[in-house]
Amino acid sequence: MNNYLNKTVKLIDLGKVDYKLAWDYQQELFNGIVELKIENRKHDNEQQQITPNYLLFCEHPHVFTLGKSGSEDHLLIDKQELESKNISYYKINRGGDITYHGPGQIVSYPVLDLDNFFTDIHKYLRLLEEAVIQTLKEYGLNPGRIPGLTGVWLDYEDLENARKICAFGVKSSRWVTMHGLALNVNTHMDYFDYIVPCGIEDKAVTSMEKELGRKQDLQEVKDLLKQNIASAFEMNILT
- How do residues 3-55 score in pLDDT, each as one tens digit? 578 999 999 999 999 999 999 999 999 999 999 999 998 988 888 899 999 99
pLDDT of 232 higher than 70:
yes
pLDDT tens digits for 52-75? Answer: 999 999 999 999 999 888 888 999
Summarised one tens digit per residue, pLDDT across range 159-189 is 889 999 999 999 999 999 999 999 999 999 9
The pLDDT score that the predictor gives to residue 199 is 66
179 Ramachandran zone, left/alpha/beta (phi>0; psi -120 to 50): left
Computed over every residue of the chain, the mean pLDDT equals 93
Which residues are catalytically annotated?
A: 198
**pLDDT (average), residues 126-151:** 96
Q: Which CATH number fits domain 59-106+114-169+179-232: 3.30.930.10, 3.90.400.10, 1.20.140.10, 2.40.50.140?
A: 3.30.930.10
What's the gap between Cα 22 and its chain centre? 12
CA distance 124 to 185: 23
pLDDT for residue 201: 65
